[in-house]
């Protein structure tokens, strides 16, 4: 991923990284800050051990109690997850984020509509894989629930910068926690 030299992450997001000394604190503070930055309803961080294929949602924050807190949800990524969840199949192939403006109109090569409705219940999302040294350590997923969402160039810049900053932290967290 590349950075644009004429653009910087908003100060309140930079502060999350600067003001928190441990990884749990960084991730916990980052979820609401990212909801603010992306103007979204919920943001979660799914971290996984790339050697075992086991992962869980370690941090989640929503702007309202009506949006399910998925913290602690875990998956053993068995062979069929990619066939059930096209977004995961994409994430296993590339670190490039996927910006879904509306699950209702995205093609089946991007989303399994029934799966997205049943499990996540969102309408629009960013699916941002976190790769370190060629291995996927997690996914950052902000979403909007009740209406489609056009993701702006600013949203895309934030995504790229946050992915870059989260990658080494996600890998370190997985090594520390055995997630």
CA distance 30 to 18: 11
The pair phi, psi for residue 65, each rounded to 5°, is: -65, -15
Q: The pTM is what?
A: 0.87
Average of pLDDT values for 92-114? 89
pLDDT digits (tens, 9 = 90+) for 33-78: 999 999 999 999 999 999 888 888 899 999 987 776 666 666 545 5
Report the run of H or E that residue 143 belongs to, with start and end.
strand 135-144
pLDDT of residue 54: 85
The pair phi, psi for residue 108, each rounded to 5°, is: -65, -15
Average of pLDDT values for 105-123? 80
pLDDT of residue 82: 58
Percent above pLDDT 90 for the chain: 59
Tokens of 61: 């924050």
Tokens of 117: 């409705």
Higher-pLDDT residue of 39, 110: 39
pLDDT of residue 1: 46
pLDDT digits (tens, 9 = 90+) for 121-161: 788 999 999 999 999 999 999 999 989 999 999 999 999 99
Q: In CATH terms, is domain 21-177 a member of 3.30.450.40? A: yes
Cα-atom radius of gyration of the chain, to the nearest Å? 15
The domain locations on the chain are 21-177
């Amino acid at each position: 991923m590349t950075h644009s030299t004429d653009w910087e992450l908003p100060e309140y997001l930079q502060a999350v990284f600067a003001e928190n000394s441990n990884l749990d604190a960084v991730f916990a503070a980052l979820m609401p800050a990212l909801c603010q930055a992306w103007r979204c309803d919920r943001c979660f961080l799914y971290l996984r051990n790339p050697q075992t294929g086991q992962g869980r949602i370690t941090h989640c924050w929503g702007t309202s109690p009506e949006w399910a807190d998925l913290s602690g949800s875990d998956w053993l990524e068995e062979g069929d997850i990619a066939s059930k969840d096209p977004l995961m199949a994409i994430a296993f192939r590339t670190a490039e984020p996927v910006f879904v403006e509306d699950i209702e109109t995205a093609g089946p090569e991007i989303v399994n509509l029934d799966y997205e409705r049943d499990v996540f219940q969102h309408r629009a999302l960013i699916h941002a894989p976190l790769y370190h040294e060629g291995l996927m350590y997690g996914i950052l997923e902000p979403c909007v629930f009740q209406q489609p969402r056009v993701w702006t160039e600013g949203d895309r810049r934030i995504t790229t910068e946050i992915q870059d900053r989260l990658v080494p932290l996600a890998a370190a967290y997985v090594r520390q926690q055995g997630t």
